[in-house]
Structure 1
């Protein structure tokens, strides 16, 4: 007999799956081509749905892209940020962030934030504002962790913490993008990269 306790997917469940698939496909498309060259029909096709299904979820390309920016931030918080918060040591937290970000970007969405920041730089556009908000949240997190590490004397003094945080994120993003497709090395090399930015002695830092 079939398991009567197993519930059939509801319309809400199916809608959520559709939305998630479209968001991830759009994130890959934005990462590869940017906003201006994103073709909604191709996004729908890659996700396994029709263009009509896409327009049922999102009213236009701007609406979809803003949703992607929010989805990337929320997913990053769940998969990376949550693990960072569990680390009590600032250095361990920053290295966990670097490794976790490398793993997160294996989905081929590493260029989303960079592509959109460049495309909307200097423009007062809703998409640009959404991306900048997520970027600023990451910079703020790294700044606070660097300041905490300096207070604990586990991170050496140097340039202002925010400047180091900007270099940390820039170096991490560049490394992850350059290593796309090299899964066996990306997390380790991402961690090694940020160790240098933080001014740490690589021989004194554990990098499994």
Structure 2
């Protein structure tokens, strides 16, 4: 996300200040969710870490749930801006899937990228708006990956096998497992994320 540039000689508009405040709070909340989960998230600590008062936080977000939902949507958009765009921009289905595997490993080196993993585990099996928002995000990514798998099978680049929807979930799970356990192991995380993707997709390494 690009923050607004100063308007005039080092001056920000009210909208600019609001955008910067919102960004700082979202980022601090993402770090807090990654470290502590939703249940243990303390809004006073979030506001303090972002450099704002609790009042500033409540001026933008009604409560913890609304803030966490905003983080989920922000992270989904961030992932698509940085990595998921390859799902539509790369014309070759196989290369798109492998590029997303590599890009996901790099993206997940940032602490905030682990939020969705943390929340999915925390809300698994629970009827809760945050769990539903995370599920919708995962479903969107899985659907995009399944589309590419189906396209790759039409060309013969991806061998026949389980249904594309099931294979897409396995592909995402394999990548997620690599980036969780290899956090901080640069550049091996990228190499092994691609290797995991190739294995699940039954591709012969070149």
TM (norm. structure 2) is 0.90
More off after superposition, 107-116 vs 86-95: 107-116
Structure 1 residue 163 displacement after superposition: 1.4
User: What residue in structure 2 maps to residue 156 of structure 1?
Assistant: 159
The answer to whether the Cα contact below 8 Å between 1:149 and 1:155 also exists between their aligned partners in 2 is: yes
Q: Does 1:32 align with 2:38?
A: no
Per-residue CA deviation, residues 158-184 of structure 1 (Å, 9 max, x unaligned), is 112111111111111111111212233
User: What residue in structure 1 maps to residue 48 of structure 2?
Assistant: 45
Alpha-carbon distance between aligned partners in 2 of 1:73 and 1:181, rounded to the nearest angstrom: 22
Q: Does 1:110 align with 2:113?
A: yes
SS of equivalent residue, structure 1 residue 94: helix
User: What residue in structure 2 maps to residue 134 of structure 1?
Assistant: 137
| CA gap 1:185/1:132 in 2 versus in 1, 3 angstroms | same
> Unaligned 5+ residue runs, structure 2?
1-6
* Aligned ranges 1:169-184 → 2 under 5 Å: 169-184=172-187
Alpha-carbon distance between aligned partners in 2 of 1:45 and 1:98, rounded to the nearest angstrom: 35
Structure 1 residue 96 displacement after superposition: 1.3
User: What residue in structure 2 maps to residue 17 of structure 1?
Assistant: 20
User: What residue in structure 2 maps to residue 65 of structure 1?
Assistant: 68
Alpha-carbon distance between aligned partners in 2 of 1:167 and 1:198, rounded to the nearest angstrom: 9
Work out which of the residue numbers 95, 98, 101 in structure 2 matches 1:95: 98
The answer to whether the Cα contact below 8 Å between 1:25 and 1:43 also exists between their aligned partners in 2 is: yes
Structure 1 residue 9 displacement after superposition: 1.6
Q: Does 1:82 align with 2:76?
A: no
The answer to whether the Cα contact below 8 Å between 1:110 and 1:177 also exists between their aligned partners in 2 is: no
Structure 1 residue 5 displacement after superposition: 6.0
Work out which of the residue numbers 165, 169, 177 in structure 2 matches 1:166: 169
User: What residue in structure 1 maps to residue 4 of structure 2?
Assistant: none
The answer to whether the Cα contact below 8 Å between 1:30 and 1:115 also exists between their aligned partners in 2 is: yes
User: What residue in structure 1 maps to residue 202 of structure 2?
Assistant: 199
Structure 1 residue 84 displacement after superposition: 3.0
Alpha-carbon distance between aligned partners in 1 of 2:187 and 2:28, rounded to the nearest angstrom: 24
Alpha-carbon distance between aligned partners in 1 of 2:49 and 2:175, rounded to the nearest angstrom: 28
SS of equivalent residue, structure 2 residue 109: helix
* 4+ residue runs over 6 A deviation: none
